Every structure is written in C-alpha cells, then in structure tokens.
Amino acid sequence: MATKKKSSSKRKYSKSSGQDVEKEMHRYKKGTAKSGKGGKGGKVKSRKQAIAIGLSKARKKGKKVPKKK
C-alpha cells in the first residue's frame, strides 16, 4: 500500500503578504494599478502582473514571501 506523505504545516507565504496581493488585485480591478517605479509606468494589463506587483511590495516590506525565480 502507498503511504500518504505527511504535509508540513509551514506556510510559504505569510497572511499579511496575501493581504498585500489582495490590495493590489483591488487596484487592478478598479483600473488604478500602475506598473514601474513610483507608478510611472503604464496600467497593469494582466492578473499575473498584479499578483507579481503585490508579492514584490510584500517582499520589500520584509514579509515572508519566497524568492523570485
């Protein structure tokens, strides 16, 4: 019989980093999310881009987020 692998309860992302992504998604949906340093770039065009920006902001704040690949 195959045994189930015990999953670790350790989180990859902190709860607060998830909230940062959530905030960025709200901005994206409103159409106010901007890319680039200081929001000087254009509008965020995709969901993936919005998520990446949210994670990047969380990383800068020092929250628990895995490293960029």
Residue 7 belongs to some domain of the structure: no
Tokens representing residue 28 in the block = 């994206």
pLDDT at 8 exceeding the cut of 80: no
What average pLDDT does range 34-54 have in this prediction? Answer: 87
In this prediction, residue 6 carries a pLDDT of 64
Residue 4 belongs to some domain of the structure: no
Residue 24 belongs to some domain of the structure: yes
Residue 2 belongs to some domain of the structure: no
CB 33 within 8 A of CB 45: no
In this prediction, residue 22 carries a pLDDT of 94
Give percent above pLDDT 70 in the chain. Answer: 88
In this prediction, residue 50 carries a pLDDT of 92
Name the pTM for this structure. Answer: 0.75
Side-chain-side CA neighbours of residue 4 (13 Å): 3
Range of the domain at 21: 15-31+43-60
Tokens representing residue 36 in the block = 């680039």
pLDDT at 62 exceeding the cut of 70: yes
Number of domains in the chain: 1
CA quadruple 52, 54, 59, 60: dihedral sign:
positive
Residue appearing with tokens 């340093």: 37
Residue 67 belongs to some domain of the structure: no
